[in-house]
Every structure is written in structure tokens, then in C-alpha cells.
């Protein structure tokens, strides 16, 4: 079945490359279990098993990370997404995935020049006053060049690598088939929803390939910060400069494969020495950065999902610039309510509130509720009496997620991204200011958002929305009932039940039935041939009836096939 799914010729070359890398990093057994070896051998691709396990001395997390790096951009991106799934992987795996750097050698300039000319409608040297052919940075999906406009403005031109989309699309097809196989064959993996994880990753990567989407994300976040001020800063005369800077998008030259944005001339987030030399206030930067990200998460529900130091710049006046909005997170109003209740429950030591939210996240999965609540109670008790300034939201969230992991509860994809952003944000704040207190920064925003949700105007708005939905449901009810009764009268009323395990059992029954039929045919050939051997007359070979010999040979071939089929099935069951 897996061979049939992977038989498309367009994926076989890439599949051979993937299988070879997995074998080299000691995952040959996984290649066999997935059926990749048989699939490639039937397609005429030989695998070099002599290189198996040559790097198996590395620890498993390091081996996986090295393999992902060698597998290419899709898998590097997958590792970066997995680094956000603190609910699925232990800390040592998360730390290893966090080492994946999205960097690559630059593409040849003639290819980049050709693609820019196609997208811009003219060569870049005719569009821009200056254009540097040497890239500022080169990643697996895109590379960035510096340019300038006629008015003297500096811009960055981000261009997608030529030919990268077909490679990524082939990898995504392979990953989805692998997830389907893992979920069908391994009941324990179903709790972690591998197909859902791959689907979320696929959607995220497809959006990241479309630079127009990144530009829209950037503008959306810029609009949310249009009137944002530092409420803790003293009032100053005139219009104060924006304390959160989002690069301006130049839409006249931006498209799916090219993004032109304002160049940010600031201090990179990793260069704290330069921050001190520039006379910037680290405490103010830590507080402003935390408040900005908390606003995006709690108030806007639309946030930068990867706020690591490489995507942050510090500007004069203790201002902060965010770049690279290829990966963003979105939270519904309901999800924000759950998040606020959870964080306030953590801060105020309320285990019941925490447990209620976590049980909401489990969905329809089977969970030991009593055991989960008991562990949450123990978790909350260990923080009881600790002063607020000593609490670390990042640490508490990490421990809480470890409880989820022990109960095999997978977080919804949007929340996994969110918790990773929280942990990254607190780490950045502590690097800037060792006394940074994420809890103290979060509580006022959480309380303000909670109050806003229950203001009379907000309650009335939600009430009207619920009433409108109820009226629409009631209005559609007669039509829905009419369709249901019409289908019943015509005998076309159907109930669909999808049970994954039954499909596997059905395949096993089909195989057993096929072997039984072959066995009956073999027995019939033996008996028939024996009868033919006793009948005189007819053509002979070496003194024996030819038809009898043909019958025996056919029976022997069928018997050998039957034995091989049984042996392969037994071997697969043992593995």
C-alpha cells in the first residue's frame, strides 16, 4: 500500500536521496519499516546499506538534527517547527532542534538576476538606484540583497531561491504520506496527531513561500502598533516616535517571489555589547519588548511567532524593530480567553482553573482526569508562597507542558507556537536584564484584557453575535429537516463511520483470502496433474505427459510464492 502511494515517478528521485541520508545517520531500520527500501528497489534505485549507522555514535537528538540539516530546507523548517512542540518532545530534543540554523550558500547571481527581472518587469539595476549583488544573508528558502531608491531610502530585497518550490512540494507530499502511515500503523502516535502536525507545517511553509503573505502579515502587525505608546514612559511634548518599528512594505515591487521592505539600520538583538556602547537602557528594552509581544498575543491575537534575537533590532531612543513575519500565530477570542485564564491561574496558584483549561485542550481524547488534576495540584503547591518577582512564567509553562506530555496530551498547534514564543521572549528579556520579571510584565496586560472582555459593550456584542447565529440556525432548520426526510424517503440516508483500525484489519483479511485461494489452486493443480499422469496417450516429454509436468511446475511456482508471502508477513509482524 505504501509502495503504491509513493509510486509517482516525480517523487522517486527525492525519495532515494531521503532514504540514503536516513541510512547514513543510523535510521536504516526505519527505512525498512516504512517500506521505502522495497519501493526504491522495485523502481530500480539501489540503496547503499554499507553506510548504515556510520554516524550512529551520536546521541539520537543530535543524529536527527544532523539528518534534518542534510535533508534540506523543508526538513530544516520542520525541525524549527518541532522546536516549538514542547508538548511532544523532551527538553534535550527541543534544545537540539533549536540549533537548526536556516542558512545556506547563496544562489548564483545570474539565476537571482533572472528571477528578479521576471518579477520586477525590468532588471534590478533599472528599478533601484543601487543594488548590491552580494547578499546580506542567505537562507534555505530565500536570500536578501541591499538596495536604495531614488529618494535615498535604503531597502532590502528578499528573493525566493529559484526552483525551490518543486523540491519543497515533493518533500511535503512525502511527509504527509509518512504521517498517514505512522498514524495508521502505530496507535501510540495517534495521540500526537502526526497528520495534523504535518498539515499545520505544510500550510505554514506554503505561506512562507509566498512573500506577499509575509508582506500582509507585516502590514497587519504594523497597523496594530499604529497608535501604540509606552504607558510607563513620561509624557513628552509633540508626537513621540513609534517605540515599536515594523519595516515598511513597498508593494509596487513586492509579489509572491520578491519582497521589498524598508532597511532597518539598528543593533542586532544578539549584539548586547553594542547595545551598551550605544547607551541604550537594557531594562527599558526588555520591558518594551515584553509588552509589545504580550500585546500581540493577548490583545491582538496576531503575533510574531519567532521573536528570537535574530529577528529583533534595537534603535536609538530605546526603540525596538521586529523583522521577518513569515511565521506568525493567530489566536481566536476563545483561545485568548483560555490563555488568560491559564496564566492567571498559574500566577494566583489556582489548580482548578488550570485543570479546566487543560481539559478543554484535550478535545475528545481519553484522559485520566483525576490523575491530571492531582499532578496539577502538586505542581501548583510547589510554587505556593513564592514571591511574585521570583516566578518564571517560561519555567512554569515548561513544567506544565511536561505534565501534558506525561499524559500523552498534545497541544493544539496554535498554542504550541504560542508557548514557544513565551519561552523565547522570557529568555531574551533575561539576557537584556537579569532582573527582568516576565510575570510582573504580564499581569497588568492579562487583567486589562480580561476586564475588556467583560465590559458591557463587549458582552452586548458577543450576545448579538450569538443571537444572530442562533436565529440563522433556526431559520435553516426547516430546510435541513426537509433534505433529511427527502433522503430518507428515497432510501439514500447514509451514515458514515470511519474506523482506521478496521481498514488495517481489512487489508490483513484480503491478504489471507488471497493466500487461501492460491493454496486451493495449488492443491487442485497437484491433484489434476496426478490424474493426468495416470492417463495413457497424449504428448510426452522424457516419457512423461507434458500437461501433467506443466501442472506440477505451476503448482511448484504457486507453492513457492505462497511460502514467500507467509515468510514476509511473519517478518513484518516480528518487526
* Predicted local distance difference test score (pLDDT) of residue 185: 60
* Predicted local distance difference test score (pLDDT) of residue 4: 44
CA dihedral 450, 456, 459, 460 (to 10 degrees): -160
H-type helices in 149-248, by residue range?
A: 164-185, 187-190, 194-209, 211-224
Chain centroid offset of residue 327 CA: 11
Q: Which residues are catalytic?
A: 306
Instruction: DSSP for 290-323, please give it.
Output: HHHHHIIIIIISEEES---GGGEEEETTTEEEE-
* Predicted local distance difference test score (pLDDT) of residue 262: 94
In tens digits, the chain (575 residues) has pLDDT values of: 444 444 445 556 667 777 777 777 776 666 666 555 555 555 455 565 555 555 656 788 888 888 888 887 788 888 877 777 776 777 788 888 877 766 677 888 999 999 999 999 999 999 999 999 999 888 878 899 999 999 999 999 999 988 888 888 888 887 887 777 667 666 656 666 677 778 877 887 888 888 999 999 999 999 999 888 766 555 455 555 678 999 999 999 999 999 999 999 899 988 999 999 999 999 999 989 888 988 888 888 888 887 778 889 999 999 999 998 888 888 888 888 888 888 788 777 788 888 888 777 766 556 777 888 888 888 888 877 776 667 777 777 778 878 877 777 767 766 777 777 777 788 888 888 888 887 777 778 877 777 777 677 766 776 777 777 787 778 878 877 887 787 777 776 667 665 555 555 666 676 677 777 777 887 887 887 777 777 676 677 766 677 777 777 887 887 787 777 777 666 555 55
- The answer to whether 137 and 145 have CB atoms below 8 angstroms apart is no
Question: In this structure, what are the phi and psi dihedrals at residue 541, rounded to the nearest 5 degrees?
Answer: -140, 120
* Predicted local distance difference test score (pLDDT) of residue 260: 94
* Predicted local distance difference test score (pLDDT) of residue 74: 81
* Beta strands 319-322 and 244-245, pairing class: parallel
Integer angstrom CA distances of residue 159 from 119, 190, 427: 10, 38, 31
Return the C-alpha cell found at 161: 531561491
Q: Is 255 exposed, middle or buried (0-12, 13-18, 19+ CB in 10 A)?
A: middle
Domain boundaries, the chain: 2-102+166-203, 266-454, 459-495, 500-574
* Predicted local distance difference test score (pLDDT) of residue 5: 46
- The answer to whether 449 and 341 have CB atoms below 8 angstroms apart is no
CA dihedral 153, 156, 162, 164 (to 10 degrees): -150
Count the neighbouring beta carbons within 10 Å of the beta carbon of residue 107: 19
Amino acid at each position: 500500500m505504501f509502495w503504491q502511494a509513493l509510486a509517482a515517478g516525480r517523487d522517486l528521485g527525492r525519495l532515494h536521496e531521503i532514504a540514503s541520508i536516513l541510512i547514513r545517520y543510523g535510521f536504516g531500520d526505519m527505512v525498512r519499516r516504512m517500506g521505502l527500501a522495497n519501493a526504491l528497489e522495485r523502481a530500480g534505485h539501489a540503496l547503499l546499506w554499507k553506510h548504515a549507522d556510520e554516524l550512529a555514535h551520536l546521541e539520537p537528538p543530535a543524529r536527527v538534527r544532523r539528518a534534518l540539516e542534510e535533508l534540506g530546507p523543508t526538513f530544516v523548517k520542520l525541525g524549527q517547527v518541532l522546536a516549538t512542540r514542547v508538548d511532544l518532545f523532551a527538553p534535550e530534543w527541543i534544545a537540539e532542534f533549536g540549533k537548526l540554523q536556516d542558512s545556506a550558500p547563496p544562489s548564483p547571481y545570474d539565476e537571482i538576476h533572472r528571477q528578479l527581472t521576471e518579477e520586477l518587469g525590468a532588471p534590478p539595476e533599472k528599478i533601484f538606484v543601487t543594488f548590491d549583488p552580494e547578499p546580506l544573508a542567505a537562507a534555505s528558502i530565500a536570500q536578501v540583497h541591499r538596495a536604495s531608491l531614488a529618494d535615498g531610502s535604503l531597502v532590502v530585497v528578499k528573493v525566493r531561491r529559484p526552483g525551490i518550490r518543486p523540491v519543497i512540494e515533493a518533500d511535503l507530499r512525502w511527509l504527509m504520506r509518512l504521517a498517514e502511515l505512522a498514524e495508521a500503523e502505530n496507535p501510540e502516535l495517534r495521540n500526537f496527531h502526526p497528520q495534523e502536525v504535518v498539515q499545520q507545517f505544510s500550510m505554514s511553509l506554503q505561506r512562507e513561500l509566498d512573500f506577499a503573505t509575509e508582506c500582509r502579515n507585516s502590514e497587519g502587525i504594523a497597523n496594530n502598533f499604529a497608535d501604540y505608546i509606552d504607558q510607563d514612559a513620561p509624557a513628552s511634548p509633540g508626537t513621540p516616535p513609534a517605540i515599536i518599528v515594523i519595516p515598511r512594505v513597498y508593494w509596487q515591487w513586492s509579489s509572491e517571489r520578491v519582497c521589498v521592505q524598508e532597511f532597518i539600520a539598528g543593533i542586532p538583538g544578539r549584539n548586547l555589547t553594542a547595545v551598551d556602547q550605544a547607551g541604550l537602557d537594557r531594562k527599558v528594552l526588555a520591558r518594551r519588548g515584553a509588552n509589545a509581544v504580550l500585546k500581540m498575543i493577548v490583545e491582538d491575537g496576531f503575533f510574531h511567532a519567532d521573536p528570537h534575537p535574530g529577528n529583533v533590532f534595537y534603535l536609538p531612543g530605546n526603540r525596538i524593530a521586529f523583522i521577518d513575519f513569515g511565521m506568525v500565530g493567530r489566536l481566536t477570542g476563545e483561545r485568548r480567553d483560555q490563555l488568560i485564564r491559564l496564566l492567571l491561574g498559574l500566577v494566583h496558584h489556582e489548580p482548578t482553573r488550570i485543570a479546566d483549561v487543560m481539559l478543554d485542550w484535550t478535545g475528545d481524547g481519553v484522559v485520566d482526569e483525576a490523575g491530571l488534576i492531582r499532578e496539577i495540584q502538586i505542581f501548583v503547591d510547589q510554587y505556593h508562597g513564592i514571591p511574585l518577582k521570583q516566578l518564571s512564567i517560561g519555567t512554569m509553562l515548561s513544567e506544565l507542558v511536561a505534565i501534558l506530555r506525561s499524559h500523552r496530551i498534545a497541544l493544539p498547534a496554535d498554542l504550541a507556537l504560542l508557548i514557544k514564543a513565551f519561552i523565547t521572549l522570557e529568555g531574551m528579556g533575561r539576557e537584556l536584564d537579569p532582573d527582568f520579571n516576565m510575570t510582573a510584565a504580564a499581569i497588568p496586560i492579562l487583567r486589562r484584557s480580561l476586564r475588556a472582555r467583560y465590559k458591557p459593550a463587549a458582552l452586548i456584542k458577543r450576545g448579538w453575535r450569538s443571537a444572530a447565529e442562533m436565529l440563522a440556525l433556526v431559520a435553516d432548520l426547516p430546510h435541513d429537516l426537509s433534505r433529511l426526510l427527502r433522503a430518507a424517503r428515497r432510501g439514500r440516508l447514509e451514515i458514515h463511520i470511519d474506523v482506521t483500525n478496521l481498514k488495517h484489519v481489512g487489508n490483513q483479511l484480503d491478504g489471507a483470502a488471497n493466500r487461501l485461494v492460491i493454496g486451493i489452486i495449488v492443491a487442485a493443480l497437484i491433484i489434476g496433474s496426478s490424474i493426468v499422469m495416470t492417463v495413457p496417450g497424449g504428448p510426452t516429454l522424457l516419457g512423461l505427459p507434458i500437461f501433467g509436468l506443466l501442472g506440477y511446475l505451476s503448482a511448484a511456482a504457486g507453492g513457492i510464492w505462497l511460502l514467500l508471502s507467509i515468510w514476509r508477513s511473519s517478518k513484518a509482524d516480528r518487526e
